[in-house]
Structure 1
Amino acid sequence: MLKCLHYSQLTQLNRAMKKKYISLPLFFILVFSFYIDGFSQCTYQHKLDSIVQLLDMPGAKFSIIYQDGRQENYATGYSDSIRKERMNLQHVMFSGSIGKTYAAAVLYQLVEEGKVDLKEKFFNYCKGECWLSKLPNIGDITVEMLLQHTSGLPRYIENEQLWIDIKNNPDKVWSYKDRLQYAFDMEAVHKAGEGWAYSDTNYLLIGMLIEKVTGMDYYEVVNARILAPLDFKETYGATRRDVPRLPIGYSGLEDFFHMPKQMVVEGRYAFNPQMEWTGGGYASTTSDLAKWAKFYYEALPFSNETLQKIVTPNPHGVLSEYDSYGMGSFIFKSAHGKAYGHTGFVPGFRSIFLYYPEQKIAVAFQTNCDTYKGKMTLLHCVDEILKAEF
């Protein structure tokens, strides 16, 4: 439990320190610094508590990393609302589409190593997979378009049959074709390179490309190139239903998804999350997610030149006056200035990680529900929490 230092405590400390002959000016500098830091921590906890109550979320977690590398982590609410078990800092949650940034980071490394060309047609790397020709636009899509979401590929998860099949066979282990076949009979959203439409299908193809070029399993590649070198100890590949320290995720999704209200029962998720793969594919603490935001947007895994491509809106990526998309990242206009980041969703969980380039602050927020009261977005939630900082 974080505690604030109140005025009465300051007075008592002051008297004690006088007896020790410490100079008052130095003492007040030290105590004032401690007071401000404690006040900030109390405010973050209070803001997080208030948001969870306001939006009727079961629980949530929040982490922040300052410019100097200091990190603070917070949790509130319940991991199990029925049993009244508290959310804690050790709980991990599925981070959804934030996982796309791991795939993007690995692909950028392969580009910088000369093993992949962004301007090359994707199909040229996977000519042996003839069944890919059933995907719309496939012959015209470049690697760059996949990263930018400008390929025109439809979202395979918008085929209701996928969710019916998941419900009927929750333990299924999914192959490339198993996932992508749900997009075979769907129309292209637009011609390749002539528009923007967010699609998980793009990143499934990026995962295929990574495995074809490296000759390794995708999760092994990410672990070797990203997770192990950067010392992520609380990030797990979502490859099994019994992910450790997973809280209950609560779902209010429409009937289209065919999902239960409680997505975790006795520690097991409602279906095999391996289905998501490079469309997301990870579970993490907010502590690790905030660290990943700091590393990703300070160009640790790749060059500054690559980072500029990531955070510069692509030709079709200006979505509104408030948000745009570069090449593996959203660019948001937040209440506190420009922010780079990504959101994530899987049934029962929502996440966001953000980096504020002007302040060099990284944050992450997660909640164990996919719907909640009110119209606040996750970005708005973080904006509200950060009022104490800005």
Structure 2
Amino acid sequence: MLRKTAHPRPARQAYLTLALAVALTGTLTACEASAAAQGTARTQAGRPGAATAHSDRLAALAQQDVDAGAPGVVVRVDKGAGQVIEIARQAPWTRADHVLSASDRFRMGSNTKTMVATVVLQLVAENRLRLTDPVEKWLPGVIPNGNAITLRMLLNHTSGLFNYTYDPAVLKAFTGQDTRQWTPTELIAAGVRHDPLFAPGTDYSYSNTNYIALGLVAEKATGDSLGELIQQRIAGPLHLKNTYLVPDTGTGTETGSEAESEARSGSGSGSLKRPAFAHGYEPDAAHIGPLLPPGTPAGTAFAGPARSAGYVDTTSVNASTQWAAGGIVSTAQDWARFSGALISGKLLPPAQLKEMRTTVAEESEFPNRRYGLGLEQVVTPCGTVWGHSGQVPGYSSENYTDATGRRTVSVLTSTIFGLVPPRTAAANQALVDAAVCTMLDKPIPATPAPSPTTS
């Protein structure tokens, strides 16, 4: 949901975007390995030699990220040949909350958009929707000028709709300062009460409003809830046992009070034993001010229990503002299975996968990124990859595949704004670049020694 930007447009300046000018082509942070792993990287079915060297190098970079100030990080790399590298590291002060494991569940943020787009394109393949359909056809009277905005424009962020997360009232809920529970219709209303940024189809601007509308369109076209559609069409067929959409109403947590308790305790209940839920953190009110973009409303800060090192625990922050724009919970392993299946053509027919991979340029601050239909094309130091990034309070994630879907990489971080200080940002970028290069079986780029100064 959060969008990385070094120089936000005026319309974005009230939004909690990542001011990571020197980092974030992909992003990670640091976490201690699980007790079973004894703080070391784990290579599954790996061979000695190069695979071990890559694993050791990634583990060292993950620890460097932690040492630079990141609360926690999970790295998973699958080179498509039976070699899976899994790493978890965390800062010592986070251990009292939870001992991080590479198998933990994680809030995936805007990676959700790729799943929502997949559902929409499946419906297109079934002739239940058309990319040329105006949004007015499915949501009459909900979006002004809806006859001029097509489903394609919603999918690739060329609608011009204002991003509802920038609305001051929504922002308070997003940061947990307000416990009001928002419905999808209310989120759209918060977005469209602001003027559009441009005429439909004439420019690009990333907007969560687009995907809330798409979620409602998918529900209207099928009669099923978006969560049910994701389970029926993606999670169920792919056996993603730890992937689900946080509900759009009610508590705003995963599935109500039981899951709220589960997120706090890190354990499942009943006969279903899920992986633990990773804790997320953001700088507290005394420390976050200098990290926010210019124009952010005064007093903006994240709510949550205070932690040492100047953070708050945002694990149970109000999640009702996320839904189709950023409400998926998953694991690195589940997401690798999904993204690999998607790019390799197992979830969409060739015509719809081609549409998904037809891209437009993103803002000028992202010259290495292009946006398709819920999917990003990213040029990295070691080659071009496909996937998405995501940020919700306490969680940043980058998930990519190669062009075939056989190789996958995930880097999951337990903060957003904890990555803004330059030293942390540089360590984060080095880790992401190394993880992607490892996935593509390319040499890991040399990185300068970290600055001895504090971040």
TM over 0.5: yes
Structure showing greater radius of gyration is 1
1:105 corresponding residue in structure 2? 118
Say yes or no: does 1:182 pair with 2:190. Answer: yes
Q: Which amino acid aligns with 2:62?
A: L
SS of residue paired to 2:203: coil
Aligned to 2:127: 114
User: CA offsets per residue over residues 253-311 of structure 1, 9 Å max, x none?
Assistant: 5464442265998996021x133100011122222222222122222210222222222
Structure 2 match to 1:333: 379
Return closer, same or farther for 1:209/1:358 CA change in 2, 3 Å cut-off. closer
Matched to 1:260, the amino acid is: A
For 2:278, the aligned partner's letter is P
Residue 39 in 1 paired to residue 49 in 2?
no
Q: Which residue matches 1:23? A: none
Structure showing greater relative contact order (alpha-carbon pairs closer than 8 Å, 6 or more residues apart) = 2
SS of equivalent to 2:101: coil
Matched residue, 1:94 = 107
Partner SS state of residue 355, structure 2: helix
Aligned equivalent of 2:147: 139
CA contact (8 A) 2:279 2:315 kept: no
- Deviation string, structure 1 residues 338-371 (Cα, Å, up to 9, x no partner): 1112110101111110112279421011111112
| CA–CA separation in structure 1 for the residues paired with 2:357 and 2:429 | 17
1:259 aligns with 2:277: no
Partners of 1:71 and 1:152 in 2: how far apart? 41
Q: Which moved more, 1:155-164 or 1:245-254?
A: 245-254
Query: Structure 1: where are the runs of 5+ without partners?
Result: 6-31
User: Which amino acid counterpart does residue 432 of structure 2 have in structure 1?
Assistant: V
TM-aligned CA deviation for residue 53 of structure 1: 2.2
Q: In the alignment, which residue of structure 2 is the partner of 1:125? A: 138
Q: Which amino acid aligns with 1:47?
A: L
* Alpha-carbon distance in structure 1 between the residues aligned to 2:314 and 2:405: 39
Match of 1:269 among 316, 336, 359: 316
TM-score normalised by L of structure 1 = 0.82
SS at match of 1:34: coil
Whether contact under 8 Å (2:362, 2:370) holds in the other structure is yes
Partners of 1:280 and 1:187 lie apart in 2 by 23
Instruction: Quote how far apart the aligned CAs of 1:77 are.
Output: 1.1
217-226 or 64-73: bigger deviation: 64-73
Deviation larger for 90-99 or 146-155: 90-99
After TM superposition, the structure 1 = structure 2 runs for residues 339-378 of structure 1, keeping only pairs within 5 Å, are: 339-357=385-403, 360-371=406-417, 372=419, 373-374=421-422, 375-376=425-426
Match of 2:215 in 1: 207
Equivalent residue number for residue 52 of structure 1? 66
Q: 1:300 matched to which residue of 2? A: 346
Give 1:94's aligned amino acid.
R
Secondary structure of the structure 2 residue equivalent to 1:73: strand
Aligned residues: 355
CA distance in 2, matches of 1:204, 1:377: 34
Asked if the contact 1:4/1:42 (under 8 Å) is kept, the reply is no
One-letter amino acid matched to 1:157:
T
Q: Once the 2 structures are TM-superposed, how far is the Cα of residue 317 of structure 1 from its aligned partner?
A: 4.8
Aligned-residue CA RMSD (Å): 2.9
How far apart are residue 37 of structure 1 and its match?
3.3
Q: Return 200-209 or 156-165, whichever deviates more.
A: 156-165
Distance in 2 (alpha carbons) for counterparts of 1:358 and 1:220? 28
2:281 to 245, 250, 253: 250
CA distance in 1, matches of 2:199, 2:236: 39
What is the aligned counterpart of 1:238 among 246, 249, 256? 246
1:30-68 deviation digits (Å, cap 9, x = unpaired): xx95344333332332232223323x1111001112223
**1:361–1:379 distance in 2 versus 1, CA, 3 Å:** farther
| Counterpart residue type for residue 270 of structure 1 | V
Q: Kindly tell me: are residues 90 and 387 of structure 1, through their superposed partners in 2, closer, same or farther at Cα, counting changes over 3 Å?
A: closer
Deviation at 1:168, TM superposition (A): 5.8
Describe the superposition over 1:155-211 as per-residue Cα deviations: whole angstroms up to 9, x where unpaired.
Answer: 0000112133564652x4432322122123211111001110000000001000010
Residue 377 and residue 327 in structure 1: after superposition, are their counterparts in 2 closer, same or farther (change >3 A)? farther
Identity %: 21
Q: How far has the Cα of 1:99 moved from its partner?
A: 0.5
Contact 2:394/2:414 (8 A) holds in 1 = yes
- The AA in structure 1 aligned to 2:317 is A
Give distance in 2, aligned partners of 1:205 and 1:305: 23
